[in-house]
Chains A and B, each alone.
Chain A
Amino acid sequence: METKQTVRIGAGAGTSDDRMVPALELAERGDIDYLVFECLAERTVSRENLARSKNSNLGYSPSLHARLRMVLPACMRNGIRIVSNMGAANPLGGARAARKEAADLGLGDVPVAVVLGDDVSSIVKHRPELRLIENGEPLESILPAMISANAYLGADVVCEALNTGAPIVLSGRVADPSLFLAPMMHEFGWAYDDLPKIAQGTAAGHLLECTASVTGGCFGWPGKKDVPDLARNGFPFADVKVDGSIVIGKTPGTGGRLDVMTCTEQLIYEIHDPTAYITPDCVLDITGVALTQEGADRVRVEHAKARPATDTYKVNVGYADGYIGEGEVSYGGIDAVARAKWAAEIVKERLKLQGFSYDDFRVDLIGMSSLHDQVDIRPEPYEVRLRMAGRTRERKAAHAIGFEVRAMHMHGPGGAGGACEPRVRDVLAVKSVLLPKNQVNAQVIVEGSL
């Protein structure tokens, strides 16, 4: 295979609910070689595991259909390869769904390389002594309620999937930056011991993994940090060269802004110790990184450093942890806050009278204290929305919260309006353990014929 001079890798999604059209714009006029869709939040795999337990064909990201239907024609026409973790809890099922979408679009038999092995539930089941990172307790404490256990796989196995030549690569849990690093390793033959390049590629992946966060999304502030044409903000890409040089850019003709400020916010985003950002591929150090504006909407990334990867994978263990119940109702005008506070006391008393108890309980006055607390020092607004929420083992107790809040219409202080229906949701909690890499069997299989 002839090595390209520059490979352009686009970010097509940064969360399961990301906007769709900017990915199509990248595929149609971004001149990209790869389009990466990162669609798994911490608990998404648990949720999809539950979906698969009800229907064995499901368990991949529900948005796979709509996303692929939108971009596949342009990707196939322009020779753009797709890399995504939309396989979620069922990468094989996702691959079959993807192939069906391609066939239905008249694109023929499109093979899909599937990354397997992130599901380590059958392995950790026999390792009750593993320590939970969050609280140091043994895994045993949550094993009975375990729904899923998935290792964050690295770029190596995704690269292996790209080596098959399949136009689409689908995985379950893979570390976000690794999805972007894999095409670089594939194109340029970078190995894990080539740390300066692995570092640069990981930094680029981290900059791209939240899509619009480097192009002006989650950034703008009127008069202080203006973002032009934010309504039509485009998605970013990285131009990567074989020597590890990286420039971040975005789809031509789209809105938003891409500069050193937006890139700095994303570079530090969700990093703890900046000398040790641990991915399955390396331990990244961003303290020396230099970001330079190279042109309009183009930022050069230099001097990322890395140490070799650790010998463990981080494993997210999802488990059922009871229910959260919620209710809301509004008060407006004279003494709105006093009436809302009184309502909260009445609801609490009624819940207690019925014998319900809660592991955690919360009262918010939306408009005053729902985000940053400290209700006693906030100025009183004209209107306020009371929100009450509690976590409990009992579904009935969870439902009672919203039920009693709604009853404020008829059984509470005067002038309550606009209560919502009682809300109850299953809590899919996530904790993590470390598992030696040599105990995980990451592998690639191809659906369809190459």
Chain B
Amino acid sequence: MTVRVYDLAHARAGDKGNTSNISVICYETKHWEFLERELTTQRVAQAFRHLAKGPIKRYPLRNLKAFNFVIENALGGGVTVSLAQDIHGKSYSNVMLAIELPNLK
């Protein structure tokens, strides 16, 4: 059995230049530590490997039971020059939510 980020958290993506930031916010405080352990930058990099070159940084926001992932070189050069349909990468939060993690213990 695996669990998806979607099952434990909500997320929203924003853009600045060619960098995407995606928040991951736990519904319940008790899942923060699980995500801290399992939702590593390596896992996120794997999920975004076809969309972003990286690097990726993860900032913990324990007070907000959240994380902020900052993914560089993710938006086709940035909103002003990108050829993508979703130039802001607003839909990227859904790539994050679909990441599968090992079973919740």
Contacts and interface: CB of A to CB of B under 8 A. Distances in A.
A188 to B, nearest CB: 26
B91 A270 contact: no
A264 B25 contact: yes
Interface of B: 10, 12, 14-19, 21, 23, 25, 50-51, 59, 61-64, 66, 68, 70, 76-81, 83-86, 90-92, 94-95
A273 interface: yes
A373 B50 contact: yes
B50 A264 contact: no
Given A43-B79, A272-B68, 11 more contacts: A265-B12, A268-B12, A271-B68, A273-B70, A274-B61, A286-B64, A321-B80, A361-B83, A370-B85, A373-B50, A432-B17
24 contacts: A43-B79, A218-B12, A218-B90, A221-B10, A264-B66, A265-B23, A268-B23, A269-B12, A269-B14, A272-B16, A272-B59, A273-B59, A286-B61, A288-B63, A289-B64, A321-B80, A361-B83, A362-B84, A366-B85, A370-B85, A372-B91, A372-B94, A389-B83, A430-B78
Contact of B91 (A134, A366, A371, A389): A371
Contact of A269 (B23, B61, B63): B23
Contacts of A390: 83
B91 A362 contact: no
Contacts of A372: 51, 91-92, 94-95
Nearest to A366: B85
B85 A264 contact: no
Interface residues of A, number: 49
Contacts of A288: 63
A432 B18 CA distance: 12
A387 B94 CA distance: 22
A270 B10 CA distance: 16
A391 interface: yes
A218 B18 CA distance: 21
Contact of A134 (B18, B68, B70): B18
A267 B50 contact: no
A427 interface: yes
A360 B50 CA distance: 16
Interface string A348-376: 00000000000011101010001111100
Contacts of A224: 10
Which 6 A-B residue pairs are closest in the complex by CB-CB distance? Answer: A270-B14, A268-B23, A362-B83, A389-B83, A265-B12, A371-B91
Interface of A: 42-43, 133-134, 218-219, 221, 224-225, 261, 264-275, 286-291, 321, 324, 360-362, 364, 366, 370-374, 387, 389-391, 427-430, 432
Contacts, number: 110
Contacts of A270: 14-16, 21
A149 to B, nearest CB: 15
A134 to B, nearest CB: 6
B83 A274 contact: no
Contacts of B70: 272-273
Contacts of A221: 10
A428 B80 CA distance: 6
* Chain A CB within 10 A, most for which of B21, B61, B80: B80
B59 A274 contact: yes
Contacts of B95: 372
A267 B64 contact: yes
| B14, B61, B83 interface centre (most CB from chain A within 10 Å) | B83
B19 A272 contact: yes
B80 A274 contact: no
Contact of A265 (B25, B63, B77, B81): B25
A287 B59 CA distance: 10
A143 B13 CA distance: 32
Contact of B21 (A218, A225, A268, A364): A268
Contacts of B61: 268, 274, 286-287
B64 A387 contact: no
A324 B81 CA distance: 8
Contacts of B76: 360, 362
B11 to A, nearest CB: 8
A360 B77 contact: yes
Given A268-B61, A387-B85, A43 B80 contact: yes
A272 B69 CA distance: 8
A272 B21 contact: yes
B44 to A, nearest CB: 14
Contact of B85 (A267, A269, A275, A364): A364
Contacts of A275: 59
A42 to B, nearest CB: 7
A430 to B, nearest CB: 5
A371 B86 contact: yes
A59 B99 CA distance: 45
Contacts of A374: 50
A271 B67 CA distance: 11
Contacts of B50: 373-374
